[in-house]
A and B are shown apart, each in its own frame.
Chain A
């Protein structure tokens, strides 16, 4: 049965697609292949989620080498959920990317773009699927290297600098991660994460293990852009091609959050790091700082893509805040926000790409009155913005509900107030867009523009529709997140 091999097919299909695309050298064929592979990935991911829900954890031994000696792919509630998210975003963005890439990239680079896109997808799916700490590093590097290239493809020359910055920071992060894994290997003699967790319970208090925890934490937090390790993110998001920003914003940081969750709860979980070290407090403080400082910085941006990039840093703060509570509700909140924010930001950056298609750059000074010439795009951004604020009826409200609930459950009512106060900062920067887009008369240059092309608007609006659907009926996402949280906490208790 082919369905037995879904865990490996999930990763290998896009991985093989990348070199095939290079061989094709044709932009249109490359797009077709990348899109097909993304959609097939989505189908496989959904099938895997179904299998996990029905039959529990799937363990797949690569090359039939049994774990812990061989590389094991291990799919449980947590990463099955993530695989669906990543491949869903990839599928939607791939449809969107054709028109966007046509407009933003020179023709001879198109096939390279799709090759890197497929490679990046393979890397992200690999990180999610694998149960092996070193294999995870390999995929981390695959996804990172391809994303440096993708960012550097941006037509603004500053994209090169942004990609270089990200390269330096990303490499430091990956190096820290591998040092941590090396230390763990030293202490346990295994790279299989489940096996590692089992063996660590004896040596949790040993210095090298604590050092490994510190290295891995810093390394991963660099990749997930936790404040104050976020400095690479705003430039990377602002200058990358629109389709890349939409894809990376919705997936890359989210996958890194997953790695953090996996190490904290599945690998170190049994050794109770939240009790032995003040990991919870550290995360809490940094998350709050991200929520307030990044949101405040977002208010003062003149480039709208940068503004939403800073908003992403703040929103990542919400996710890690949920994790820091170390409770079932907190984890549920974090995971559900991971999903919700991916939808929201993916949609927002896709819509900004619609502006970029017509305008080139999207800064506040260029878009006065744009709601009159591109009403569909502008209204989509307003809806996405409402979701960032957390208005009921959008996914942002669901996230906020569970975060506030987790804060109150932990007995820290002041955190609940901090959460709602920081979401009011989102009102300020979202409304800045509303006022510029709706209350100005479009200038002569702007007035000649047309609404963006349907093949971009439809995928973007699908995501916006998902933001509203899952905001009104969060049964699926919340129960999925709650199961994932329960799975993670099994390792702890």
Chain B
């Protein structure tokens, strides 16, 4: 199998899976098996490309020419490789979790749910492997549309309203800003290809680069940079597995991944470093980090707290990318991975608490750790990772981002990172403390852990969070290629 067919198969697998899921809609056990098998096959296909990319190859394939000179094409480079591995790998775990959650909560329209999930993964892989900005845009929009039925899954008035915010902000920013930026780049350079070192050097002046960067960064609404972040908390109306995979991994990570990809391969890190017109971005990112953390601190609803925590953590990636130093770029790329495993664990835990104990508010969680030790143990691991305490994965990426900030002399960014670490601790540690050390409130009903598939899933992601600390080698080898560093030398 050539790498080109491998890429196309990876894109086709979730779609074939979706068709099979529809075909098997009458037999839930077969349907869920199809999901699990599809997810596993996808992961193997993606993983089989990894050695090539590590060896420095960049397999590519052109699917079709959409408009003269503008193709849909795919090219696997280290950053996309990393994102593809995370999205497809966590889909397996998430499918396991979904089975437990959807059955235990007796959700409706389960077939539609699994079909849209598969479609979302196909879009995420398309984004990960996109060889040019046009391809990225096509799959970015596809991801928004295919996740709309997931966000509005409940079909209630609330879900409908949340769907409006979700779609309005994501489609509004992407068509309103990103499309214009893309056509503008095409007009200036005659290409939209992702190339190391960017494509704008010598083609666009200082001011133009600044405007284009703004159009790109705000146009990628999935990165949830303030003031275009509201869709993320709104989307929490969705069932928890959706929040977990889409709003901790596929959708939001597609956002920050796109930002990072555009900065590295369209603008060029070294090429725009030091330009006066791009130095505003760290302030916006820093502002988002702090403000979102404060909102998270003040939210009693657990999922809302996690949502704002996500908004804040996404801006870590944007901030790190905006610092434009090699170390911070490595940190940004790593943070996509480390935050993904940590946050999905937290969401899994929140869903498990909802399923077993029917509790949604932070203030209801006193003593819950005694009844659900596995769940709350995993929650603790996820929280530690987000705060950045070893031995959890979050420490590694934070280390690189902080090193990058010091390296580039961005002391304000350093201050933001320190303040936000404290805020993270302030909104996560009380939950852990209450769960394990406070006595349960009187009058609560008896319950144990959530159904086993959920507990297994969240234990796996918690283990991954720890493992990524000790075996950060693979992601580091991948992302150090981004900045031309040879890891280990």
**Chain A residues in contact with chain B, CB under 8 A?**
386, 389-393, 398, 400-402, 404-405, 408-409, 413, 416-417, 420-421, 423-424, 427, 431, 435, 439, 471-475, 478-479, 482
Contact = CB atoms under 8 A, between A and B. Distances in A.
Interface of A is mostly: helix
A398 to B, nearest CB: 6
B141 A404 contact: no
B487 to A, nearest CB: 36
Interface of B: 64-68, 72, 134, 137-138, 141-142, 145, 152, 155, 160, 163-164, 167-168, 171-172, 175-176, 179-180, 183-184, 186-187
B167 A400 contact: no
A439 B152 contact: yes
B70 to A, nearest CB: 8
Contacts of A401: 67, 179, 183
A424 B176 contact: yes
Contact of A392 (B138, B163, B186): B138
A421 B171 CA distance: 11
Interface of B is mostly: helix
B65 A421 contact: no
B458 to A, nearest CB: 32
Contacts of B65: 473, 475
Nearest to A421: B176
> Which of B67, B72, B138, B142: most chain A CB closer than 10 A?
B67
Contacts of B142: 392-393
A402 B72 CA distance: 17
A158 B419 CA distance: 68
Contact of A405 (B64, B137, B172, B186): B186
A390 B180 contact: no
B167 A427 contact: yes
B145 A473 contact: no
A392 B137 contact: yes
B377 to A, nearest CB: 40
B67 A478 contact: yes
A391 B141 contact: yes
Contacts of A472: 64, 66, 72
A435 B148 CA distance: 12
8 contacts: A390-B175, A392-B137, A401-B179, A405-B186, A408-B184, A420-B179, A420-B180, A424-B172
A339 to B, nearest CB: 14
A420 B183 CA distance: 12
B116 to A, nearest CB: 13
B157 to A, nearest CB: 8
A197 to B, nearest CB: 30
Contacts of B138: 392-393
A179 to B, nearest CB: 41
Nearest to B215: A417
A404 B67 contact: no
Contacts of B175: 389-390, 420, 423-424, 427
Nearest to A386: B145
Contacts of A439: 152, 155, 160
